Amino acid sequence: MLKRKNIKLAKDIEDYMERLIGKNRYDVDCINEVNTLIKRLNQCAINTLYEIDSFGKIKLMSPLICNHRLCNICNWHRQKSIRRKYIRFFQNNQTLCRVMRIKPMKRVPDKKEFSFCTHSQLDGYLNRGFVLLSKEVEYDLMHLVLTVPHTEGGGWHGSDIYIKEIINTFHQLRRLKFWNLMIYGGEYGVETTLNDNGFHTHIHALLMVAKAERNRDKLHYQIFYHWNRLTADENSKRKQFENEHFEKIIIGNRLFNDVYLKSLDPKGSTIIHLRSVYYKELINGKWKNIEYKQFGDDAMIRGVMETISYHFKPKAFQKYIELKNRDGSVDKIYTDDFDVEKIVKILPKLYKERLYNRFGVLENEPTLAIKENAVEEDFEETTEEFDSETGEVFQNHYFVTHPLNVYHKRETNEIMLSSRADVRIQTLKAHSGREAVQELSKMIVKR
C-alpha cells in the first residue's frame, strides 16, 4: 500500500510540473529537488526482501529504502526503527547517572563540573576524569509543543516557510540557564501542517525533566516566558493583549500572576503545550489523553511512542475531509490525494535541513544512533533464526522482488505472490535471515 502511495504521488507531481512548464510558471530552483523526489519515490523499495518459511508462508523482512523525508515507506521505516530504540532505551535507563569532574581542566583548573549521563555513557565519563556520585537520578518524561505567531500571507518574520528559523530559535532556548538546570536531555522533531493561515510549522519535543515538586508548572513558567520573547515578530497583527488573551493564557499555569502576564510580549507566541507524555484512547466515542502513572508502565511507553510519531507524519501534504462531531469537535479524515502544489513549494526549504535531533544526555547516546540503511541492525533486533522452544533451526528461503508483485489476501491478511506471467523474483543463496539481509545490504552499496 505504501509503495502504491509513492507511485501515485510521483505521478501527481510529474503531471503538476508538466502543467507549470507548459505555462512557464515554475521556479527553476526547485527542479532538481522535484526530480530527485520523483526518482526516489519510484525507486524506493523496488527491491524488497521476503522470507518463505517451512510452511510456505511469506513474510516481509525489509525494503531497500530511499531515505527521502517525504517518502511514505521511509517515514514508516524510520518511525518503526526509532520507536523500537526508544522503548529499549527507557527500559534500560529508568534513572540517570550524576558525575563530577575531579581531573582538573587546563583552562579552568579549579572548576568543579557536575554532569549527567546515561548508564551506557558512564564508562566514557569515568575515563575522562569524572567520578560517579549517583546512579539513581530520577526524571519525568514530558511532551512539549512549541508554536510561533504566524499570519496568513506574512508567515513568521516575513517568511511563509520558516523551518530553519524555528530550529535556530529552539536552539537559543536550549542554551538558556534554566533549561540546563531543569532538563537533562531529550529529542525533538519539526512538523509542518496546513491551516487557514498557510504553513504551520511547530516543534514536538520529548523532555527528560528533573524530578521536583510541581516541576511541570515551574518548567512551563520558564519556557512560556522565554519562548514568547524569542518568537516576537514585528509583523504580528497583535499589538497588545486584551483581557480575553490573558484569560486564556492564565488557564495553562497556576503560577502565572498579573506581573508575569504584563511582562509578556503581545507579538510573541502564547500557544505552548507542556504535559506528561500521553497517548490518545477512544473512550465512549470520545478521544481522551491518557497520561502515565508510573515510570515504565504501558501508558508511559505508549506515550513516548505517541510523542515520537509526530516526527514521521508528513500529513501537511495530504488532503483531508473534516467531519464534525456532535460535541462540536472536528475530526480530520486524510485521503490518498496529495496537495502537490505545497510539496513543490516546500521542497527547497527541506534540502539538507535536519528535522529530527537529540540534545542533552541523549545527544551522544550510542543506543539511539540512527543509521541511513539499518537493514542488518533491524534484523538483529527483531528476527529469530530458530524455534525458541524446541531449538530447531528454521529452514527458510529468501527472495527479493518488487512489492507490487505481492498482495495481501483479504480474508487472512497473508502475503501472496502474484501469479502474473511477468513477475520476476531474485532468489538469494542464503542459509539464514542474517545472510539474506547481508545480501540486501550489498545491493544498497551497488545502487
Domain ranges of the chain: 2-90+384-446, 95-137, 144-294+305-354
Closest CA to 163 of 193, 197, 187: 193
Burial of 66 (0-12, 13-18, 19+ CB in 10 A): buried
**Stretch 65-73: mean pLDDT, rounded?**
83
Burial of 193 (0-12, 13-18, 19+ CB in 10 A): middle
Confidence category of residue 445, pLDDT binned at 50, 70, 90: very low
Which amino acid is located at 82 in the chain? Answer: I
The strand pair at 58-63 and 96-101 is best described as unpaired
User: Tens digit of pLDDT for each residue in 255-281?
Assistant: 999 999 999 999 999 989 999 998 888
Cβ-defined contacts of 216-221 (< 8 Å, 24+): 216/140, 216/142, 216/274, 216/275, 216/276, 217/253, 217/254, 217/255, 218/182, 218/255, 219/142, 219/182, 219/183, 219/274, 220/252, 220/253, 220/255, 220/272, 220/274, 221/253, 221/255, 221/256, 221/260
Predicted confidence at residue 230, as pLDDT, reads: 97
| C-alpha grid cell, residue 52 | 518463505
CB 102 within 8 A of CB 133: no
Please state, in angstroms and as integers, the Cα–Cα distance from residue 287 to each residue in 149, 282, 290, following that order: 27, 4, 10
237 backbone dihedrals φ, ψ, rounded to 5°: -75, -25
Predicted confidence at residue 446, as pLDDT, reads: 44
Of 148-162, 305-319, 324-338, give the range with the top mean pLDDT: 148-162
Confidence category of residue 204, pLDDT binned at 50, 70, 90: very high
Helix (H) or strand (E) holding 52: strand 48-52
pTM, whole model, 2 decimals? 0.81
Place of cell 537493514: 375
| C-alpha grid cell, residue 73 | 515507506
**Stretch 45-55: mean pLDDT, rounded?**
86
The 3-state DSSP class for residue 130 equals strand
- HSE-CB of 65 using CA atoms within 13 angstroms: 22
**Stretch 198-211: mean pLDDT, rounded?**
90
CB 99 within 8 A of CB 129: no
- The shares of helix, strand and coil residues in the chain, as percent rounded to the nearest 5, are 40, 25, 35
| C-alpha grid cell, residue 392 | 530447531
What's CA 442's distance to the chain center, in Å?
A: 28
Predicted confidence at residue 447, as pLDDT, reads: 40
C-alpha span between 58 and 51 (Å, rounded) = 6
Contacts (Cβ under 8 Å, ≥6 apart) of 85:
367, 368
Region label for 214, one of left (φ > 0), alpha (ψ between -120 and 50) or beta (otherwise): left
Predicted confidence at residue 221, as pLDDT, reads: 97
Query: How many residues would you count in the chain?
Result: 447
Residue 348: pLDDT over 60: yes
Contacts (Cβ under 8 Å, ≥6 apart) of 400:
47, 48, 49, 50, 425, 426, 428, 440, 443
**Stretch 103-131: mean pLDDT, rounded?**
78
DSSP per-residue string spanning 59-117: EEEEE-----TT-HHHHHHHHHHHHHHHHHHHHH-SSEEEEEE-SPPSSSTT---EEEE
| C-alpha grid cell, residue 259 | 506581573
Please state, in angstroms and as integers, the Cα–Cα distance from residue 257 to each residue in 212, 233, 252, 266, following that order: 21, 24, 12, 16
Of 278-287, 356-365, 383-392, give the range with the top mean pLDDT: 356-365
Predicted confidence at residue 197, as pLDDT, reads: 64
Contacts (Cβ under 8 Å, ≥6 apart) of 392:
386
Confidence category of residue 1, pLDDT binned at 50, 70, 90: confident
C-alpha span between 248 and 271 (Å, rounded) = 10
